[in-house]
Chains A and B, each alone.
Chain A
């Protein structure tokens, strides 16, 4: 669900967040309008709004784990975790985590990729939110959910700054709620 439809309608912070995101056409390949959140990170106020909105949502939901997807999930997840008193768990590309891992594969447009998590990072019945900068097809988030659920954790919600049109109207991802702050920026200029 989009934040604007879920209690934050007209919130000027969402406008500021959306305006701070830069669109880079034809990256990584032709036809893709890449949503660049690095410009959001340069706008201290807008970056703070982003974190504040997530923190306000999750602080009273007994969340003990924030899981963030490498690498842009790392930019948002830890600040949220610190503010709500939760652990931060990085979900990483293969071969990066040094200890014993479990892994889950997921589909890309062409081929597959894998996501890994340390064994023992999460305990059964812990309540988890998963963070990434953007959700498109939901493939990566689904793999993340599988990793956490395989360890007995309860995924309470997936949360992203940006949600592509495919997810609009979809309130759930694999049966779990999906919370998104803004739609992609600047698409109108290029249509």
Chain B
């Protein structure tokens, strides 16, 4: 069951761990309409309906003191595909967001507004959907883009970090020399679920002396508590989605 929240959260950039997170009270839950995508999309797919936002109590939400109108549009442009990749999973499909030129532009603008002028020299993006959002942000804020990839994709010398999956493990890699000690980085992915991938990305960058200012995702699945895996690193998301 999905709900739309009208978050009334002050927009604060949490760079210091001491800044308290704003907690969203449950009274702001209300039932969502089923919203069809804007007319950028073909009407042939039967599965289109909005991905609504449930409040994340612990992550920074991208809003001003009233709901930023851009957020609702972004949320409604995300398509949910039931039972992918396996039964029971409601897959958050951002490809429909990429088809909505205004929503995609707004998504990037929200991240750029947050991170420009903050001395961020590295945007690290997790393969493959982090590659879609990361580079436009990096270009706009004057930072490098560093791809973090599955094993054996990067051609040069790499460092690797292993992380747990539900069954087994996976590995994420980064080129040696891509970043330098003391650089300030943000890590981008389309979505945070369990937080395993982002936690591995944080460890990888910290091993080479980089300060991770924040992890940033378009979508959070708060019930999976991915934020807890990130340790001291703050998390910023645009849309929070109940399972």
**What residue of chain B has the Cβ atom nearest to residue A68's Cβ?**
B132
Contact residues of A between 61 and 85, Cβ < 8 Å to B: 70-72, 74-76, 78-79, 81-82, 85
Pairwise interchain contact B91-A98, C-beta atoms closer than 8 A: yes
Pairwise interchain contact A90-B98, C-beta atoms closer than 8 A: yes
The proximity string for A residues 100-112 relative to B, scoring 1 for CB distances below 8 Å and 0 otherwise, is 1000000000000
Residues of A within 8 A of B153 (CB): 71
Instruction: Determine the distance from Cα of A29 to Cα of B152 in the docked complex, in whole angstroms.
Output: 12
List the one stretch of B2-10, B141-149, B203-211 in contact with chain A: B141-149
Pairwise interchain contact A38-B84, C-beta atoms closer than 8 A: no
A31 on the interface (CB 8 Å rule)? no
B231 on the interface (CB 8 Å rule)? no
List the one stretch of A43-51, A155-163, A178-186 in contact with chain B: A43-51
The answer to whether residues A27 and B85 also contact, given A41-B144, A79-B135, A120-B45 and a CB cut-off of 8 A, is no
Pairwise interchain contact B142-A44, C-beta atoms closer than 8 A: yes
A97 on the interface (CB 8 Å rule)? yes
Pairwise interchain contact A119-B44, C-beta atoms closer than 8 A: yes
A41, A71, A90, A95: residue with the most chain B Cβ atoms closer than 10 Å: A41
Instruction: Determine the distance from Cα of A90 to Cα of B85 in the docked complex, in whole angstroms.
Output: 18
A24 on the interface (CB 8 Å rule)? yes
Instruction: Determine the distance from Cα of A76 to Cα of B104 in the docked complex, in whole angstroms.
Output: 15
Residues of B within 8 A of A85 (CB): 101
Contact size class for B?
35 or more
A123 on the interface (CB 8 Å rule)? yes
Residues of B within 8 A of A76 (CB): 135
Residues of A within 8 A of B135 (CB): 41, 47, 75-76, 78-79
CB distance from A65 to the nearest CB of B (A): 9
The answer to whether residues A120 and B131 also contact, given A42-B144, A47-B139, A78-B98 and a CB cut-off of 8 A, is no
B224 on the interface (CB 8 Å rule)? no
Kindly identify which residue among B85, B129, B156 contacts A22, using a CB–CB cutoff of 8 Å: B156
Pairwise interchain contact A97-B145, C-beta atoms closer than 8 A: no
Majority DSSP secondary structure for residues of A touching B: mixed
Contact size class for A?
35 or more
Kindly identify which residue among B99, B132, B138, B143 contacts A74, using a CB–CB cutoff of 8 Å: B132
A12 on the interface (CB 8 Å rule)? no
Kindly identify which residue among B84, B136, B142 contacts A78, using a CB–CB cutoff of 8 Å: B136
Residues of B within 8 A of A75 (CB): 131, 135, 145, 147
User: Could you jot down 23 A-B contacts, CB within 8 Å?
Assistant: A24-B155, A36-B155, A38-B154, A38-B156, A41-B138, A41-B145, A41-B146, A41-B147, A42-B145, A44-B142, A44-B144, A47-B145, A74-B128, A74-B131, A75-B131, A75-B145, A75-B147, A78-B136, A82-B104, A88-B132, A90-B95, A118-B45, A121-B42
User: Which B residues lie at the A interface, using CB under 8 A?
Assistant: 40-45, 47, 79, 81, 84-85, 91, 93, 95, 98-101, 104-105, 108, 127-129, 131-133, 135-136, 138-139, 142-147, 149, 152-156, 175, 178
User: Which A residues lie at the B interface, using CB under 8 A?
Assistant: 22, 24, 27-28, 34, 36, 38, 41-44, 47-48, 51, 70-72, 74-76, 78-79, 81-82, 85-90, 92, 95-100, 118-121, 123
